[in-house]
Amino acid sequence: MSEVVTYNREGAIGVITVNYPPVNALGHAVRSGLVAALEQGQNDADAKALLLVCEGRTFIAGADIREFGKPMQEPGLTSVIDQYENSDKPIVAAIHGTALGGGLETALGCHYRVALSSAKVGLPEVKLGLLPGAGGTQRLPRLTGARKALEMITSGEFVNAKDALGLGIVDAVEDGSDIKAVGLAYAQKVADEGKPVRRVRDVTDKVEAEKGGEVFDQFRAGLEKKARGLFSPFKCVDAVEAAFNLPFDEGMKRERELFMECMDSPQRGGLIHSFFAEREVSKVKGLSKDTPVRDVNSVGIIGAGTMGGGIAMNFANVGIPVTIVEVKQDALDKGLGIIRKNYENSAKKGRITQQQVEERMALISGSLTYDDFRDVDLVIEAVFENMAIKKEIFGKLDEVCKPGAILASNTSTLDIDEIASATKRPEDVVGMHFFSPANVMKLLENVRGSETSDEVKATVMAVAKKIKKVGVLVGNCHGFVGNRMLHKRGAEAMALVNEGASPQQVDKVLTDLGYPMGQFAMSDLAGIDVGYRIREERRNAGEDVAPSWMDKLVEMNRLGQKTQAGVYKYEEGSRKPIPDPEVDQLIAEFRKEQGITPREISDQEILERCMYVMINEGAKILEEGIADRSLDIDVVWIYGYGFPAYRGGPMFWADQVGLDTILNTVRNFHDTLGGQQWKPAALLEKLVSENKKFGDL
């Protein structure tokens, strides 16, 4: 008998218990243990019914993802579930925590399901580039009907126990926390009432009723928009459709074929890398797990602009009171008004209730004085990018804030050490770089200064988790990880347009790769006056900053989406960028002024220049220790800039392209185009010479 699955009898109930922390994933030991325990239960003449229950925080949370890509060891999950379903003693699955993927599929192979009211169920395989491959696509629709099964399987979203009861996925829901007691009581009832084995495979009313319906094509059409570029959601629909068109065993075969297609797709590799990378980033190199974490029960924010307001919402959303300080009352009122409007909009869309709007607003107060920061545990400065102003602010904070308060800057580029130097407590100063819109984007780039204490680093990482962000700890340099790479891509995109590409051609190459928007559409979203102001400041300071056609746009008051015209034009109320011949004309004139003869530029060149310049910079970032691991860079790009998770992040993508290919092209660009950005990173050269990848570091 395997140690991770045990069998024992309690009265008339044979209890099969899985105990495989952390999430009872269906690794080989669990699968073989389940088979052995079932056999014991079958042979136990005194067991009238069997109960499948899990120890720890959750029911089985799925197949063991770490086994994917390795040779499969028998018994396979499908065979395990078949044996459970074919048992002639009724089996009850008792669900607590999350029954996910193969876990829910196992429960669906049992004859009855009872869940705690706090439990959730789901088939999230699609988020890993897969489809439920152990009968989920065949059994779930037999219980829920086509539409709900399609929704659950193509979105991967979880369903709470109450809804699962309504959908027929579980048979009973009980309050409480003792899942074993709940399961035993239910199994006893099954035994006492002599309830029969009830196999989901034999439930046919829904599949018969919806055979040949239009729902599948409707669903595919909807996915064209929602799942752009993705492979597995469409395979999920094919698999569910098979449940309606084929007998159960044939449907299972079809599901397997489609599952294997997903397994072989590169998107599966990218998404699974993203899954683990998201979890790995919380384990910061050199920071012990036991590092004490300070309590953060109140927060101060400086600046009620778009950023400050968005940051405040994150804290109010999780019940932490926030004080926002502004210089002028009208700016404060405006900022608080926008926050309310954002919440009201969420309420209108049904995402939160009106009561929650009021509760959250009640947690946010405004002030015109730093004195109100006296007792807060964390202050986040979110004013515009100006070092002198930031230093003045931090000097004041140092005077006002209590000892132990964390002083953070939301700067997206500036030197954290210089900001910290304005205080007498640089160990309490740190960067907390939120991404716009700050209440939506999941990334929090936490920036350690050279003197930031371990306690402060650990605390800001814990804060990220608390406010449901993915925190990545990075080092201090201009632009940190994300913007440092973005600036290189931006400069290359500009150069490509100067040389002959159109903004829409550059953007299309990037969106075809899977970015939600291209470089120029993104500039329009952020406002192209931001870059203009920085260039002007540098010019005024005597720096030699090359002229740009973007400057001309700003001078024409084409500032981006906010003026309905920037690099693109926009229709009233729409965010869809429309190419504008006026801008093409302006670019053509600019080239003439600069003496540039435009040339035809291939999409491949755009891809290589925009992406490889980032990879080369990413390698320098790793070399300098600004990012600890290539997966930190991947997570920054997936959650901060919408890099497609199915490509695993830019550094993972680079490993798939081949570092030797990238290095050769970088060398070539260095020779032909020149510039520091194309000087090959020493790390890239080293990895290629050792035949290694970023993932091997």
Q: How far is residue 281's CA from residue 460's CA, in Å, rounded to a whole number?
A: 13
The nearer residue to ligand 3H9, 122 or 479, going by C-beta atoms, is: 122
Cα 650 to Cα 186, 259, 444, 588, 619: the distances in Å are: 50, 26, 18, 32, 11
Name 52's bridge partners: 16, 93
What is the smallest separation between the CB atom of 282 and ligand 3H9, expressed in angstroms?
8
Residue of 10, 55, 125, 608 with catalytic role: 125
CA 114 to chain centre: 31
The nearer residue to ligand 3H9, 225 or 289, going by C-beta atoms, is: 289
Those residues with Cβ within 8 angstroms of residue 221's Cβ, 6 or more apart along the chain or in another chain: none
What is the smallest separation between the CB atom of 124 and ligand 3H9, expressed in angstroms?
4
Q: How far is residue 505's CA from residue 318's CA, in Å, rounded to a whole number?
A: 42
Identify which range of 17-25, 194-202, 363-371, 387-395 contacts ligand 3H9 by CB under 6 A.
17-25
Residues between 230 and 289 with contacts to ligand 3H9, criterion CB under 6 A: 276, 279
What is the smallest separation between the CB atom of 201 and ligand 3H9, expressed in angstroms?
16
Q: Give me the phi and psi of 16, to 5 degrees please.
A: -100, 115
Active site residue 105: yes
The nearer residue to ligand 3H9, 41 or 62, going by C-beta atoms, is: 62
Positive or negative torsion for Cα 296, 298, 303, 305: positive
The nearer residue to ligand 3H9, 23 or 307, going by C-beta atoms, is: 23
Any long-range contacts for 511-517 (C-beta under 8 Å, 24+ apart)?
A: 512/603, 513/607, 513/611, 513/644, 513/647, 514/229, 514/643, 514/644, 514/646, 514/647, 515/641, 515/642, 515/643, 515/644, 516/642, 517/577, 517/642
The nearer residue to ligand 3H9, 136 or 145, going by C-beta atoms, is: 136
415 belongs to the binding site for ligand 3H9 (CB under 6 A): no
Q: How far is residue 655's CA from residue 659's CA, in Å, rounded to a whole number?
A: 6
What is the smallest separation between the CB atom of 134 and ligand 3H9, expressed in angstroms?
4
Q: How far is residue 268's CA from residue 429's CA, in Å, rounded to a whole number?
A: 40
- Pairing verdict, β 443-448 and 429-434: antiparallel
Active site residue 685: no
What is the smallest separation between the CB atom of 81 and ligand 3H9, expressed in angstroms?
9
- Pairing verdict, β 49-54 and 172-174: unpaired
The nearer residue to ligand 3H9, 116 or 302, going by C-beta atoms, is: 116
What is the smallest separation between the CB atom of 311 and ligand 3H9, expressed in angstroms?
23
What is the smallest separation between the CB atom of 268 and ligand 3H9, expressed in angstroms?
10
What is the smallest separation between the CB atom of 464 and ligand 3H9, expressed in angstroms?
13
Residues between 21 and 40 with contacts to ligand 3H9, criterion CB under 6 A: 22-23, 25
- Residue window 118-157: x/- pattern of binding to ligand 3H9, with contact defined by CB under 6 A: ------xx--x-x-xxx-x---------------------
One-letter identity of residue 20:
Y
Output the CA angle 99-103-108, nearest 5 degrees: 90
Q: How far is residue 340's CA from residue 309's CA, in Å, rounded to a whole number?
A: 10
Could you write out the three-class secondary structure of 172-195?
A: EEECCCCHHHHHHHHHHHHHHCCC
Extract the tokens encoding 656.
């798939």
The nearer residue to ligand 3H9, 124 or 644, going by C-beta atoms, is: 124
What is the smallest separation between the CB atom of 109 and ligand 3H9, expressed in angstroms?
12
Residues between 59 and 118 with contacts to ligand 3H9, criterion CB under 6 A: 61-66, 77, 98, 100-102, 105
Those residues with Cβ within 8 angstroms of residue 411's Cβ, 6 or more apart along the chain or in another chain: 381, 385, 390, 419, 431, 433
The nearer residue to ligand 3H9, 420 or 444, going by C-beta atoms, is: 444
Task: Kindly determine how many residues on this chain lie close enough to bind ligand 3H9 according to the rule CB under 6 A.
Answer: 26
Those residues with Cβ within 8 angstroms of residue 58's Cβ, 6 or more apart along the chain or in another chain: 23, 24, 96, 97, 98, 99
Query: Across the chain, which distance is largest between two alpha carbons, in Å?
Result: 93
Q: How far is residue 141's CA from residue 167's CA, in Å, rounded to a whole number?
A: 10
CB 492 within 8 A of CB 613: yes
Coil vs helix vs strand at 159:
strand
Residue of 3, 67, 85, 105 with catalytic role: 105
Q: Which residues are catalytic?
A: 105, 125
Binding site for ligand 3H9 (CB under 6 A): 22-23, 25, 58, 61-66, 77, 98, 100-102, 105, 124-125, 128, 130, 132-134, 136, 276, 279
